[in-house]
Amino acid sequence: MAEHENLVKSSQIIIKDALDKLGFDEGMYELVKEPMRLLTVRIPVRMDDGTVKTFTGYRAQHNDAVGPTKGGVRFHPDVDEDEVKALSMWMTLKCGIVDLPYGGGKGGIVCDPRQMSIHEVERLSRGYVRAISQIVGPTKDIPAPDVFTNSQIMAWMMDEYSKMDEFNSPGFITGKPIVLGGSQGRDRSTALGVVIAIEEAAKRRGKTIKDSRVVIQGFGNAGSFLAKFLYDAGAKVIAISDAHGALHDPNGLDIDYLLDRRDSFGTVTNLFEDTITNKELFELDCDILVPAAISNQITEDNAYDIKAEIVVEAANGPTTMEATKILTERGILLVPDVLASAGGVTVSYFEWVQNNQGYYWTEEEVNEKLREKLVRAFDNIYSLAQTRNIDMRLAAYIVGIKRTAEAARYRGWA
Ligand SMILES: NC(=O)C1=CN([C@@H]2O[C@H](COP(=O)(O)OP(=O)(O)OC[C@H]3O[C@@H](n4cnc5c(N)ncnc54)[C@H](O)[C@@H]3O)[C@@H](O)[C@H]2O)C=CC1
Ligand SMILES: O=C(O)CCC(=O)C(=O)O
């Protein structure tokens, strides 16, 4: 099986189950089982040494029955067509769960920005926007940051689009720097959403964040802000990791120190000799485990070794379908990605609303609105899982796909 084929296949199985439970027919499943549009582009980039290198990029638009599509752009060597397709399907579910007027989209470029100069990354970012320009735009499909992309890259992409559009178009993309129309709180929003999901999950298990032992895989945008929030709330963050390895201290790591030392790609463990592997990280004795890096990390091979009582997915697709079953049977409360990581797109929506109205909110207003949406979404999904005796992922898919399916039916698409 191609590296990410399982992500699409398992999502299709759960979407089918969710549609059956909602009473939709086979025609609806045929409509939503794949993205409606997938564009593959080849982007020639002049490298600093004068040669031209051609990169492959994708933009998938899952379904725009509800409204324009929305979702991040990932720069990573492992990006492939299946990964982008699955990620766009999950964006539809996230937007449905937190009730945003969007369908799901996602993009990616096969590249390793850690090996490129900043000028090469800028030329690649601008080239990508030119290549996908016909299918994106503030009322069509709105990109945002994801793995190894950040506010600077969003700024270059916005600038390139604005030049082509001949207007200043801040609503083309979200996750921008504040001075270019970015929203207060967007940089921390994915992590804050995960904190809210952890608080709600802990409450259901009679626990609190304070004094909990937490393990986090990934120390980038999602993982590092999350570690900081939890550390400040009195949790013991006993392990964190990046692509090179993991740091573990059963007495709790000094997160402020690690934040000072990490680089812009969320790498810090390379500065230490005493490390463990990402595989060992998942088996550590802890109360709360948060995968916040890449997909396919909790599988049949390690699901029985997980000691945490609560697993909250900040990353997209970190747990396979088989592992979801094992964790649920073992009584572990698993909060799925499409709910736990919806804070980022929620504040991206707030950013787009602020861009459209040209009036900007304070960080307190943004965070309050974010909390309201996520607590409501958690309550809905948790209650559905309890009343129907199903796992949280299936419950989240039922809530997430319902609005797109209803909108598609009204439009006469299925
Ligand atoms: N940035 C956002 O707003 C959102 C991000 N997410 C998801 O959260 C996850 C992390 O994204 P960001 O923090 O934004 O990315 P980032 O690029 O800021 O950080 C990625 C982190 O993952 C680590 N990593 C990369 N490859 C790895 C590997 N093979 N093994 C272990 N660690 C590895 C990196 O070292 C880094 O610490 C992704 O799954 C992303 O899709 C989900 C919702 C929104
Ligand atoms: O902020 C956004 O629009 C999208 C965030 C994203 O890509 C994700 O939730 O996976």
Does 300 map to a domain?
yes
362 marked among binding-site residues: no
Ligand number nearest to the C-alpha of 265:
1
Give the pLDDT confidence score for residue 2 in this predicted structure: 66
Residue among 278, 318, 286, 277 nearest 299 (CA): 318
Residues 246 and 315 in one domain: yes
Q: Is 194 in the pocket of ligand 2 (CB under 6 A)?
A: no
The C-alpha atoms of residue 137 and residue 98 are separated, in whole angstroms, by 22
CA atoms of 369 and 362, how far apart (whole Å): 11
Residues 220, 322, single domain; the answer is yes
d(CA 152, CA 75): 13
Query: What CATH number did the domain enclosing 70 receive?
Result: 3.40.50.10860
Q: Ligand 2: does its nearest atom lie under 6 Å from the Cβ of 192?
A: no
Query: Which domain covers residue 260, as residue numbers?
Result: 188-331
Q: Residue 252 C-alpha to ligand 2 middle, in angstroms? A: 30
Is there a single domain that holds both residue 38 and residue 142?
yes
Mean pLDDT, the chain cut into blocks of 10 residues (414 residues total): 83 98 98 98 98 98 98 97 98 98 98 98 98 97 97 98 91 98 98 98 96 97 97 98 97 97 96 97 98 96 98 97 96 98 98 97 98 98 97 98 98 96
Q: What is d(CA 187, CA 161) in angstroms, rounded to the nearest whole number? A: 22
Domains held by the chain: number: 2
pLDDT score for 1: 57
User: Does residue 161 lie in a domain region?
Assistant: yes
* CATH code where residue 260 lies: 3.40.50.720
> Is 54 a member of any domain?
yes
User: Which of 304, 331, 358 is the last residue in one of the domains?
Assistant: 331
pLDDT value, residue 221: 93
CA of 22 to the centre of ligand 2 (A): 26
Residue 159 and residue 197 in one domain? no
Asked if residue 281 belongs to a domain, the reply is yes
Residues 31 and 155 in one domain: yes
Kindly give the distance from the C-alpha atom of residue 412 to the centroid of ligand 1, in angstroms, as a whole number: 38
Q: Which helix (H) or strand (E) holds 109?
A: strand 103-110
The pTM for the full model equals: 0.97
In a domain, 361, yes or no: no
Tokens of 25: 């027919």
Shared domain check, 216 and 162: no
188-220: b or e for each residue (b if 16 or more CB lie within 10 Å)? bbbbbbbbbbbbbbbeeeebebeebbbbbbbbb
Specify the ligand 2 atom closest to the Cα of 186. 1
359 located within any domain: no
354 lines ligand 2 (CB under 6 A): no
End-of-domain residue from the set 301, 331, 361 = 331
Lining ligand 1 with CB less than 6 A are 145-148, 190, 218-223, 241-243, 266-267, 278, 292-294, 314-316, 341, 344
DSSP H helices, 33-150, are 81-97, 118-132
Catalytic residue check, 106: yes
Instruction: State the ipTM, two decimals.
Output: 0.98
246 shares its domain with 155: no
**Is 278 within a domain?**
yes
Nearest CA residue ID for atom 38, ligand 1: 315
Q: Answer yes or no: do 128 and 237 share one domain.
A: no
The verdict on 158 and 193 lying in the same domain is no
Q: Which ligand 2 atom sits closest to the C-alpha of 94?
A: 9
Instruction: Provide the β-strand partners of residue 236.
Output: 213
> Residues 125, 265: one domain?
no
* 243 domain residue, yes or no: yes
DSSP sequence for 320-378:
-HHHHHHHHHTT-EEE-HHHHTTHHHHHHHHHHHHHHHT----HHHHHHHHHHHHHHHH
Q: Is 348 annotated as a binding residue?
A: yes
Please compute, for residue 276, the number of CA atoms within 13 A of its CA located in the half-sphere on the CB side. 16
Choosing from 280, 301, 331, the residue where a domain stops is: 331
Q: Are residues 152 and 17 in the same domain?
A: yes
Q: Are residues 147 and 216 in the same domain?
A: no
CB 87 within 8 Å of CB 106: yes
